[in-house]
Structure 1
């Protein structure tokens, strides 16, 4: 061991014995750059310790001797710093409708954190942290030399090239124990993987050479290159090449869908190649991933696409539009046949819910002694439901009310159509003079404000039920509400009366008397337009100015006195009057200007 300072150890620790010292020796190593280990530096260190060794003894106070050595185990690896992420507009990836494009947003481009990969194979240039303690202390970060060795004091070269990371500690420990029989423990770990420069080519946004380490993920280098070009590159078969040999082929869909990313150990000069995109199909409808998907060219099926598109539970069928050839053909299949439907490049798929109704639910409210929710077979009729309801002596069977969502929507559409027509007329009206234009402008502003308020009115959606002897054949719809009125003996009087109120029913008085009992007309009332709304949904319009028979008022009726519209000053009074009447009938409210 020429060139080593004299140390003494007991024979049971060092087999051959060593020159005497105080029996307690410590070594530490500091990592140096390539400029610290050049010929002139080594010669200077050899002159200082009186030998040709590259170690320079430093003796601190106390009984231990500490030696500082440069980077051990041969020539140091080139100091390649990881590439700093360069500017790239990842918004193009975020805005793409191609499945997988959002994978590359710059998050993988940053330098990777240290990680333990048990299957990593040690190669030249890797940094190994070695610690010995006990009767002999040593702490150094060593670089694997081109021969695949690291050099330990008193132990000599230890070959670690080709060893798996999980076996590194046992390899070093076995080498140490061949020299130090007892009282010396060892620990070894991979401190830093070999710095490498990787080429990224093919259909990526920014082909080029990128720096990192051999332990960095394939995603790290792809992200630095801006990611796979979603319009041209493949996500299904990204290749890692070493020379002319393809070392690995990675399917990025596996990472996106299941989190699986194979461990690929990269070496300096490796090439990550993104081949051209394969077949593409577009997916829409009842799916979690409404995207464009890449599919392999080996006759993919709808069943294989379902694994990545993830249809919702309610989806039952798929509509396939074929775009190949001169004609655009459409096909329709149940999902049960998905494995038999083969896809072609350019197909467009829409997942739909084509379900036949089996049952409906109807809610029963009001005066009855039965459950409030009924589940009935599809196609059930009102008479069948009434047969299941238990009425009491307060139930008013003659005035059963039925409310339906589809009717409510239709009433809302009719009202909106009338309001839109009135709005158009107001906005396009012309005036003959400046004074008239000023007057029309004021009227138009008031009318437009009234239109905005009228749009907030919600119709009831009441269905006018036929007489008792015919109502049994009325078909029910899912979501219907059947309301059983109570025999309360009241008549509601509202609208343009002084005191809108509920008046006790009196068979001896007529329509005018009920209006008088509510205080009579207001100044804005139009006694020529009075609406009598029955509980069963029927109604009558009455002109109180005319002679003739007036409708007989029944218990439960609602009397609505509509407001007057000044036809002399209102350019659109007919349209407004008609809409007021629609609101009174569909929502049973009076809506004045």
Structure 2
């Protein structure tokens, strides 16, 4: 190389060096004085690098850990297999059907006339070497037959008084390709004895939108060594045992036909079935497991340009065939037969009544035997559906109050500050109001219409007794129960409870009667009955008329539906 460079024109060398960014000293006539060394190793650090050992080097990291949480909530049946459990688990070394192969480690112990304790690795020829015995070929031997194979080899060298114990200590470590329709195709490590689920789990599991659970192949080159259907494992507990080797491929095929299941089923998931068969509803029921309450199935056909819906009784649906993309919902199509009604309080009859659907309140009251302490004209009816509707109406009112409190306008900064404090107080009160549970009481009259009221399943009647008390609660000093007196006014009852806790007339008084009806009252009002409850609603101090109106309405609504006075 140096001889070639010596024959090159010096000016040419100088121009080449300049184009390469190399500074070459020149003589007075502009020719290069010397040439840089070609091919010599440079010991100087590259520009921009640092030799300071305190500066940490960036080390390449492996792939990030897979987030398995989406697999747990996936609508695809079988995705909950892949949560990282199989990836972390180790294979069992005591599998009797495992075939011993190259790289496996074998523990051999000899005792008697000859003793040895050996840990041997199966060599590429499939042999292990035993002292005084020689090479013993065990490749291809089942784990269950390993002991007898080694015993036979030892017996050929030692006729008597030498005993042997052989066991598989560790399977060969291998690296297996996982590809096809999985979430993280790649090359994964394990052992030759590890389950297919160990490698599929490392790959994040089967792709829920594209991968197949029923068409998985284990390949070695062009040879398909095993075909795996994970539904066999999930429904029957059957998993083929495949001895894997370095470079083997686990290939997940594309997803085939699917049917989605919803409604009253234990496994309301998306199921896969082979593309070359028609799935019957009976086969689907074995996988989806409809609940005992299910009586019918609704089938929505999604193939073609027209979406059709069909409805079958489960008893007649065994012959219904399902196609790719169909949606099946298991439902309960039942007619009400009987209902149960509970009667509590002051009476001498049983407390639980089973009556035909459509029974009336009058029919039930004819079966109730009242006692001398009963007050049948004040019977109370509590209904679950009414309780639910009262809760919904209260929620609507509370949302309107929240909106009014947050959107109230202010003219000055001081007013804005006061509005903010007021809004915070109102929102805290709304949170407490949401925890109030209405009682679901139905107001019953005493006319013939009361007896014609249709009963519902789960209704609860309460027969009040003659207690002669009046309850006073709400914005009073000492909420209490006092003896009823016909001549006492509302103000007199409130005075017996210590009077009002706030010295203001901006309040509302409500009388709750036992039969569920309510009356507004003043201090001088009369007409309080035995068993009534006097509710004193607190005064409301707010600058906004809209907030005042909304709060007053909700306070009254809570008092009526739950018989609770919720203070601000």
Look up the match of 1:554: 529
Are the aligned partners of 2:362 and 2:451 in contact in 1 as well (CA < 8 Å)? yes
Residue aligned with 1:91, SS:
coil
Deviates more, 1:150-159 or 1:410-419: 150-159
Look up the match of 2:212: 234
Look up the match of 2:79: 101
Are the aligned partners of 1:525 and 1:561 in contact in 2 as well (CA < 8 Å)? no
Deviates more, 1:434-443 or 1:251-260: 434-443
Supply the distance in 2 between the matched residues of 1:136 and 1:530 (Cα, whole angstroms).
Answer: 105
Are the aligned partners of 1:361 and 1:478 in contact in 2 as well (CA < 8 Å)? yes
* CA 155–479 in structure 1, closer or farther in 2 if over 3 Å, else same: same
How far apart are residue 249 of structure 1 and its match?
A: 1.0
Verify: 1:359 aligned to 2:338, yes or no: yes
Verify: 1:254 aligned to 2:232, yes or no: yes
Q: Which runs of 5+ in 1 are unaligned?
A: 1-84
Residues 383-423 of structure 1: per-residue CA shift (max 9 Å, x gap): 23323333221111111111112112222222332333333
Look up the match of 2:390: 411
Look up the match of 1:459: 438
Q: 1:299 aligns with which of 278, 289, 294?
A: 278
Are the aligned partners of 1:566 and 1:573 in contact in 2 as well (CA < 8 Å)? yes
RMSD: 3.8
How far apart are residue 382 of structure 1 and its match?
A: 2.0
Residues 319-354 of structure 1: per-residue CA shift (max 9 Å, x gap): 433332223333344444553333332333444444
Verify: 1:378 aligned to 2:362, yes or no: no
How far apart are residue 101 of structure 1 and its match?
A: 3.3
Verify: 1:578 aligned to 2:536, yes or no: no
Look up the match of 1:344: 323
* CA 188–478 in structure 1, closer or farther in 2 if over 3 Å, else same: same
TM-score, normalised relative to structure 2: 0.75
Residue aligned with 1:375, SS:
strand
Q: 2:310 aligns with which of 331, 346, 360?
A: 331
Q: 1:122-201, aligned counterparts within 5 Å?
A: 122-123=100-101, 126-142=104-120, 152=130, 155=133, 158-194=136-172, 196-201=174-179
Residues 262-315 of structure 1: per-residue CA shift (max 9 Å, x gap): 111234554322211112333344444444333322222344334444444444
Are the aligned partners of 2:255 and 2:272 in contact in 1 as well (CA < 8 Å)? yes
Verify: 1:536 aligned to 2:511, yes or no: no
Q: Which runs of 5+ in 2 are unaligned?
A: 1-60
Supply the distance in 1 between the matched residues of 2:280 and 2:63 (Cα, whole angstroms).
Answer: 40
Supply the distance in 2 between the matched residues of 1:332 and 1:391 (Cα, whole angstroms).
Answer: 50
How far apart are residue 372 of structure 1 and its match?
A: 3.0
Are the aligned partners of 1:527 and 1:544 in contact in 2 as well (CA < 8 Å)? no
Look up the match of 1:491: 470
Supply the distance in 2 between the matched residues of 1:269 and 1:498 (Cα, whole angstroms).
Answer: 85
Q: 1:399 aligns with which of 374, 378, 394?
A: 378
Supply the distance in 1 between the matched residues of 2:62 and 2:80 (Cα, whole angstroms).
Answer: 18
* CA 163–388 in structure 1, closer or farther in 2 if over 3 Å, else same: same
* CA 342–529 in structure 1, closer or farther in 2 if over 3 Å, else same: same
Supply the distance in 1 between the matched residues of 2:478 and 2:467 (Cα, whole angstroms).
Answer: 20
Verify: 1:91 aligned to 2:67, yes or no: yes
Supply the distance in 2 between the matched residues of 1:446 and 1:104 (Cα, whole angstroms).
Answer: 49
Supply the distance in 2 between the matched residues of 1:334 and 1:357 (Cα, whole angstroms).
Answer: 17
* CA 476–144 in structure 1, closer or farther in 2 if over 3 Å, else same: same
* CA 339–155 in structure 1, closer or farther in 2 if over 3 Å, else same: same
* CA 173–383 in structure 1, closer or farther in 2 if over 3 Å, else same: same
* CA 404–526 in structure 1, closer or farther in 2 if over 3 Å, else same: farther
Residues 493-517 of structure 1: per-residue CA shift (max 9 Å, x gap): 4455666543433345565665566
Matched residue count:
505
Residue aligned with 2:212, SS:
coil
Are the aligned partners of 1:398 and 1:468 in contact in 2 as well (CA < 8 Å)? no
Residue aligned with 2:324, SS:
coil
Are the aligned partners of 1:94 and 1:105 in contact in 2 as well (CA < 8 Å)? no
Are the aligned partners of 1:496 and 1:561 in contact in 2 as well (CA < 8 Å)? yes
Supply the distance in 1 between the matched residues of 2:65 and 2:163 (Cα, whole angstroms).
Answer: 52
Q: 1:29-108, aligned counterparts within 5 Å?
A: 87-91=63-67, 94-95=70-71, 97=74, 98-108=76-86
Supply the distance in 1 between the matched residues of 2:394 and 2:92 (Cα, whole angstroms).
Answer: 67
Look up the match of 2:261: 283
How far apart are residue 463 of structure 1 and its match?
A: 0.8
Supply the distance in 1 between the matched residues of 2:104 and 2:473 (Cα, whole angstroms).
Answer: 91
Residue aligned with 2:321, SS:
coil
* CA 153–386 in structure 1, closer or farther in 2 if over 3 Å, else same: same
Supply the distance in 2 between the matched residues of 1:242 and 1:194 (Cα, whole angstroms).
Answer: 16
